[in-house]
A and B are shown apart, each in its own frame.
Chain A
Amino acid sequence: MGRLSVDLCGIELDNPVIPASGTFGYGWEFAELYDINILGTFSFKGTTREPRFGNPTPRIADCPAGMLNAVGLQNPGVDRVIDTELMKLKTVFHKPVMANVSGFSVAEYAEVSAKLDAQPQVGWLEVNISCPNVHGGGMSFGTDPEQAASVVRAVKAVTTKPVIIKLTPNVTDIVTIAKACEQAGADGISLINTLLGMRIDLKTRKPVLANVTGGLSGPAVFPVALRMVWQVAHAVKIPVVGMGGISCAEDVLEMLTAGAAAVEVGAANLVDPLACKKIIEALPEAMDRYGIRNLRELRGA
């Protein structure tokens, strides 16, 4: 085991850095720039049963130290993801990958999870019950402990692979939701999805985003994410994947110190496609600076 390696639900990662779903496609664009096998793993684009175009454009707005997105789960649908994207992925990525699952009903979550579970390269299922940009699904499952638990139970029933539930920060008490997921059998928790926000264009006096609201990500949300990771990691026994605004090696160390077993990096990939590579390369030196021999010693500090 290297000094950067960590364990995520029984699977060893060479390092804790995982590009977050929706910011890394299926890896292809990044593989053009660097060998993506240096990553711990990555979480691919959120997958639904049917193909989805997503929301009308504009879907993106710039913000101080961050961005809003309202993409709305654009994806080719689970069958295409399996036939095309995972086939292609095998040629550039040789580690277990994290499959990100979305849905609009408990049955859809289970159906998509079952199909992805059957893919040998899928190491974990990350179940997104926290998308703020779709209606009648996504976040509505993640804001109610009962509904969150019902998604967990339905997915657990169709897979033997670790199930990580991705939570929304747009709730009054994140700990209650996390505990409900743990009790329902979740193997891990990832957080935070984006924070609901909006912007107005003063020239048109209309919202910038066609969807009106969108999810805020980027360095602006890091302290909020860190606080929530801390709260959840201290309340559950299952591993927590921390994300939200991570953009440098020091942010990774803070997240792990707050109790995360691994981290996801999102918006930073969109501004600098080499962000994850740079973070991984900067970790040893940053660890030296703070007297950290290996990353496993940080957890639960």
Chain B
Amino acid sequence: MKDVIFTIAAQKRLTDNVYEIRLTGDTSAITRPGQFVNLKLEGLFLRRPLSVCDLDGDTLTLIYKVVGRGTALLRGMTPGQEIPVLTGLGNGYETALSGDMPLLIGGGVGVPPLYLLAKRLRAEGKTVFAVLGFNTAAEIFYADRFRDLGCNLAVTTADGSFGIKGFVTDALPENYTHVYTCGPEPMLRAVYRKITTGGSFSFEKRMGCGFGACMGCSCKTIAGYKRICKEGPVLEKEEILWED
């Protein structure tokens, strides 16, 4: 964990309400894909957590969907403005688990953390299969970026307006060595039921501090109580305990 002031380098609209923001600052505390950062925005008390999408030297890329006051504030910010950020939070994805043919499954705004993971796995020479699911063609983002990395790619849309009609679980390849996934919880549950290998699942929960102090985002697992912000957000398949 590190407390760093980042400067906004660029903001780009990716879809109707999904934005990409590039920030410049000390990224040294970010050690794994799947970690997140926590942004202090002017006028809001609690910080807002966002997963790391990409990392290149001192450039940090985040992707967010405008859903509430925090993300609306972020959208209104412009290049040159500064944001205090706690970086290098959470455990992230372990690339050593991937095997030769990892499968990455992302749903909607769960796609971003898989991008840095795909980049790292490709750099390690792995054959990466990525299945990205969206509601409709207009909501698709970053599919071309995964293809540019050399991933085998399948895109699904719930309404069939692009790619394979259906959910991510309708487009899984036959052979893969490990699954990495992030997305809405119903998708994670469906993936959990369907996959035949080990898997690393990234969870989302409303957080207080984001660094393990407040116990705001606790969950029960087979291996005891865990904090999504600290021992998570990535939990391994064997330890997941679905509540209700």
Contact = CB atoms under 8 A, between A and B. Distances in A.
Interface in B2-61: 3, 40, 44-47
B235 interface: no
A271 B40 contact: yes
A60 B213 contact: no
A63 B46 CA distance: 8
B194 interface: no
Contacts of B213: 23-25, 29-30, 269-270, 273
Nearest to A72: B215
A160 interface: no
Contacts of B40: 271-272
Interface residues of A, number: 36
Contact of A74 (B3, B45, B86, B215): B215
Contact of B216 (A53, A59, A218): A59
Nearest to B244: A56
Contacts of A60: 46, 206-208, 214, 216-217
A215 to B, nearest CB: 12
Contacts of B216: 57-60, 69, 71
Contacts of A53: 218, 220, 225
B10 to A, nearest CB: 27
A273 B211 contact: yes
A102 to B, nearest CB: 13
Nearest to B216: A60
A63 B45 contact: yes
Interface in A106-161: none
Interface in B37-91: 40, 44-47, 70, 86
Nearest to A268: B45
B218 A54 contact: yes
B145 interface: no
B82 to A, nearest CB: 15
Contacts of A1: none
Most A C-beta atoms less than 10 A away, residue of B45, B86, B243: B45
Interface string B192-216: 0000000000000111110111111
B interface, by DSSP: helix, strand, loop or mixed?
A: loop
B29 to A, nearest CB: 10
A244 B3 CA distance: 24
B208 A67 contact: yes
A32 B45 contact: no
Interface in A37-70: 45, 53-54, 56-67, 69
A62 B209 CA distance: 11
B186 to A, nearest CB: 16
A269 B216 CA distance: 14
Contact of A62 (B1, B45, B86): B45
B219 interface: yes
Contacts of A271: 40, 45-47, 209
Given A69-B208, A69-B214, A71-B216, A273 B46 contact: no
Contact of B209 (A54, A65, A66, A269): A269
A28 B231 CA distance: 14
B207 to A, nearest CB: 7
Nearest to B225: A53
B215 A71 contact: yes
Nearest to B205: A57
Nearest to B84: A272
Contacts of B225: 53, 74
Given A29-B212, A33-B1, A67 B207 contact: no
A274 interface: yes
A65 B214 contact: no
Nearest to B40: A271
Contact of A218 (B45, B70, B230): B45
Given A218-B45, A267-B45, A273-B211, 6 more contacts: A25-B212, A53-B220, A59-B215, A64-B45, A71-B218, A272-B40
Nearest 5 pairs of A and B residues by beta carbon: A270-B209, A60-B216, A58-B206, A60-B208, A62-B46
